[in-house]
Amino acid sequence: MAVWMVRAGAHGEQEAIALENGVAVIDWRDLPDLSGVKTREELAALCRKTYPDASDKQIANWVGKVWAFRDRIKKDDLVVLPLHTRAALAIGRATGSYQYRADLPEGARHTRPTKWLRTDIPRNALGQDLLYSLGALGTVCQIQRNNAEERVRAVLAGKPDPGKTIKPTPDEEDFDLEQYARDQIVAYIGHRFRGHDLARLVDALLQAQGYRTQASPPGADGGVDIIAGAGSMGFDAPRLCVQVKSSDAPVDVSVLRELQGVMKGFGAQQGLLVAWGGFKGSVTTEARRLYFEIRLWDSAELVNGLLNNYERLPAEVQAELPLQRLWAMVPQEQVEV
């Protein structure tokens, strides 16, 4: 059996459709039903007809990915879907062959039936070397390095990644440099800002965003790590109660409900729940109902906030978290359709 990374759109546009309908999907919306395509050569001819302005290199790149999805993924192979909506991975098992689903929205009709086994695995549960592979720019790729299948199955079973200490080794495969850099930042913060230090980092970010804050000292916090308010003295709305969980495991809905209760005691209109290990599905479901009351930050949301406000962070925090901005062009042949 093999492990495959299959994205649900370049920016996760089809994630909800994939998870709700029990399928892995790729876009390529201009391609028709591929059920009758028997060889890579037929697929290449179809791609050239569909995309006449594409270069030979682009066509070859696209054919490799679409053919892998159409033909190389086998029943019972593991499918990993990196989620864009949160810092988590969905892992499933392929249960059937390629199907063209005309009943699904445009952009999600090329499918493989997939039983999603878990949808809340934190990205940082896997070692940096496997995250490097999952950062491939393409929509579909096989993850083969460093006993990938054994390690993914261990994490799927709730065990630690047995190869998490393996260092990533750059190679010739294309990969998402931005995501790779973010994964490195997440790994560094996870190591450097543990326990109360993570609350200290969140406190610094809130101050950079213009809040006046008061942080609880280390130890028992009574269900709130930070209280924050707007205005020069922090008296103005919005007034926040903030709970910070530094564990690598996803938190359950009881933590959300505890924060909701604490908010009333502090007279806060809004709450912020920061969970480094992410959230179980029950939390995100209930948080939808509380959209105008409570926000959720996982590691990805926290890193986004830090990057957007880095220049306004205190100098001592910047010294603890040394970052620099880098922009790079995406190779044209990797731009998918």
Q: Mean pLDDT by 10-residue block, N- to C-terminus, for the chain (337 residues)?
A: 90 91 95 95 96 93 95 96 90 97 95 96 90 80 91 94 79 65 89 93 97 87 87 91 94 94 92 95 91 94 95 94 78 56
Number of helices (H) and strands (E) in the chain: give both, helices first.
11, 12
CA distance 122 to 300: 10
Question: Rounded to two decimals, what is the model's pTM?
Answer: 0.76
Q: Where are the alpha helices (DSSP H) in the chain?
A: 15-21, 40-50, 56-67, 128-134, 148-156, 177-192, 196-208, 253-266, 281-289, 299-308, 315-320
For 196-320, CATH gives 3.40.1350.10
Phi first, then psi: what are they for 238, rounded to 5°?
Answer: -80, 150
* Per-residue confidence (pLDDT) for residue 177, from 0 to 100: 72
Q: Which token pair is 19?
A: 């998870």
Closest by CA position to 122, among listed 329, 299, 318: 299
Q: Which residue has the tokens 């909506």?
A: 85
Residues of the chain with CATH 3.40.1350.10: 196-320
Question: In this structure, are strands 78-82 and 3-6 parallel, antiparallel, or unpaired?
Answer: parallel
> CA-CA distance, 80 to 74, in Å (whole number)?
14
**DSSP-derived 3-state class of residue 16:** helix
As a whole number of angstroms, the distance between CA 26 and CA 5 comes to: 11
> What is the Cα–Cα distance from 29 to 198, expressed in whole angstroms?
43
How far apart, in whole angstroms, are the C-alpha atoms of residue 95 and residue 37?
A: 20
